[in-house]
Amino acid sequence: MASAEERRFDVLRAIVADYVSNHEPVGSKTIVERHNLGVSSATVRNDMAALEDEGYITQPHTSAGRIPTDKGYRLFVDRLSEVRPLSAAERRAIGNFLEGAIDLDDVLRRSVRLLAQLTRQVAVIQYPTLTRSTVRHVELVLITPARIMLVLITDTGRVDQRMVDMGDVVSDEDLGRMRAMLNSALVGHRLSEAAAKVAELPEHGPTDLRDALVRLSSVLVESLVEHPEERLVLGGTANLTRSVADFPGSLRQVLEALEEQVVVLKLLAAARDPGTITVRIGEENEAEQMRSTSVVSIGYGTHDTLLGGMGVVGPTRMDYPTSIAAVRAVANYVGEILSGR
């Protein structure tokens, strides 16, 4: 890129930095005073005029400075050569906070709370997609002589508990036999495969356990399919109220859209690979209600397996370097924690 174009990008970067920090239109005099660009105010004014002609900045009203457009933010994000890494203390704090979680639900709740605090945006995380999970263990616990608690544990740490009325007394010996059969047939299989194997169990099991296996299997199948109502955790929605001016006439629409899980899941849909950051800015968002926002998202998982997506939602006037660094760091820790469970 030619030196004049590099200088114009430096001017754009200065406008983005000042506008994100102060929420005030930025003038040429301010840029010269605050940023060591080594050029005169006249040169900066010419560069600002060129950036405005190209659609990277705009003048909100007469006699005001300039503010970035969606196109300007996009160029800024695309040219981020380095994202400010989190400090060792910040990384330690994230690790300690998340490693204290007692189960998957706690991991996800802590993750959104942490992301919201680090970025001052709305944080969202998707539950691990069950079809990508495998069965780690099936436990049967006798609650009463004729009632069993069935516990399904996946490799992502998901724990699903169901009560099963057996219709007859179950002995400890029969309980052990059924537990062994279920684990032998299901452990290590993807949940979609396990559902098919469960359906076959009563047919191939011992005759004296057939009725009991039918009851267990019918309930277990429900645990092996998706739970759409549990797929998302949101945190920090109140952070949007600190940026009301960034959503002229549209904050209510944004809040209503965040309540619709389908809308939020679409925001995370671009997160296809663990560790790959995606940034959608303003008009790039498919949902009309979200076109005053930016979304920084990432896939999280174990090794090469994508388990779900997470990210933050905020105004286009977002501290992108900090948000990207925080989203990436938390996703890495969640992936590590789940892989160790």
pLDDT band per the 50, 70, 90 thresholds, residue 312: very high
pLDDT range class, residue 1, cuts 50, 70, 90: very low
* The pair of three-digit structure tokens given for residue 79, joined into one six-digit string: 């040219």
pLDDT in tens, 183-239: 999 999 888 788 888 888 888 888 899 899 999 988 888 777 755 445 788 999 999
> Would you state the pLDDT for residue 131?
63
**Residue 261 banded pLDDT, cuts 50, 70, 90:** confident
Helix (H, G, I), strand (E, B) or coil at 236: coil
Residue-wise pLDDT for 57-78, tens only, equals 999 877 678 999 999 999 999 9
pLDDT computed for residue 203 by the predictor: 83
**Of 290, 194, 287, whose CA–CA distance to 247 is shortest?**
290
User: Rounded to an integer, what distance in angstroms lies between the CA atom of residue 124 and that of residue 151?
Assistant: 27
Write down all domains in the chain, each with its CATH number in brackets: 3-78 (1.10.10.10), 88-128+230-339 (3.30.450.40), 131-225 (3.30.390.60)
Is the model's pTM score more than 0.85? Answer: no
pLDDT of residue 327 exceeding 70, the answer is yes
Measure the CA–CA gap between 216 and 185, rounded to whole angstroms: 14
- Residue 14 confidence (pLDDT): 94
- Report the percentage of the chain scoring pLDDT > 90: 41
Query: Which of 246, 245, 242, 233 has the alpha carbon at shortest distance from 311?
Result: 233
pLDDT tens digits for range 142-178:
999 999 999 988 887 777 888 999 988 999 999 999 9
pLDDT digits (tens, 9 = 90+) for 122-134: 999 988 876 667 8
Report the DSSP pairing between strands 135-144 and 277-281: unpaired
The pLDDT of residue 338 is above 90 = no
Cβ atoms 128, 104 nearer than 8 A: yes
DSSP states of 247-258 as a string?
STTTHHHHHHHH
Residues 235/122, Cβ–Cβ less than 8 Å: yes
Cα angle at 299 between 221 and 190, to 5 degrees? 25
Rg (CA), the chain: 26
Q: What pLDDT does 281 receive?
A: 95
Measured on CA atoms in the order 323, 326, 328, 331, is the torsion positive or negative?
A: negative
Q: Which of 56, 52, 61, 54 is nearest to 24 (CA)?
A: 61
